Amino acid sequence: MTTLIEKSRARATFELNLTNKKVYMSVDCTNFMNEKRFVVVIETKSFLKLWKNEPSPLSRNLNFGNIENWKRDRKYPDAEDGFSFGRNNPVPLANIVCYINDENNLPYIAISNGVTRTIWLLSHNVKYFPVECRNKDEAELLIKAAGYKDTDISTVEKLLECSKTS
């Protein structure tokens, strides 16, 4: 399960339960676009279907990969290291884009930032995980196609009240 465990005006921290440990991810308020960035919790099996539907994947061996392929990725040890720091230094959410594939009229996703973090989670059999989308239309399409049951989308601004002053 993925749980929002802590939030302040600057950061929301999520706890993800893996088979034998917990890892932590976060999203932060920034100086720009907090009202246009959305957090969505997605279900892994649906995510993988969408990722395989990407029309022009940059790393086909990752989109269609398996645990062995993912662990051979040259940056995989970096993610292993990043997730090792725990709750006090959570890993940033991956940035996902979600569109409709013109060839088959089905949704697909692409990872614009966070491929290695994502394959690390996948290789550890995470069931659900939070991601960040850059606009409402993509977030709504993603939650419809792969969203975890009974979850909603939220802007970073609304989630963390970024616009309020301390």
Q: Does residue 5 belong to any structural domain of this protein?
A: no
In a domain, 126, yes or no: yes
- The token pair that represents 107 in the structure block: 């949704």
Question: Do residues 95 and 131 lie in contact, with contact meaning Cβ atoms separated by under 8 Å?
Answer: yes
Does pLDDT of 68 surpass 70? yes
Single-letter amino acid, residue 117? R
Q: pTM for the complete prediction?
A: 0.91
Whether 9 is in a domain gets the answer no
Count of domains for the chain: 1
Range of the domain at 121: 40-151
Q: Tell me the pLDDT band of 165, cut-offs 50, 70 and 90.
A: very low
Q: What is the pLDDT of residue 75?
A: 95
Is the CB of residue 55 less than 8 Å from the CB of residue 46?
Answer: no
Parallel, antiparallel, or unpaired for β 94-100 and 107-113?
A: antiparallel
Query: Is residue 7 assigned to a domain?
Result: no
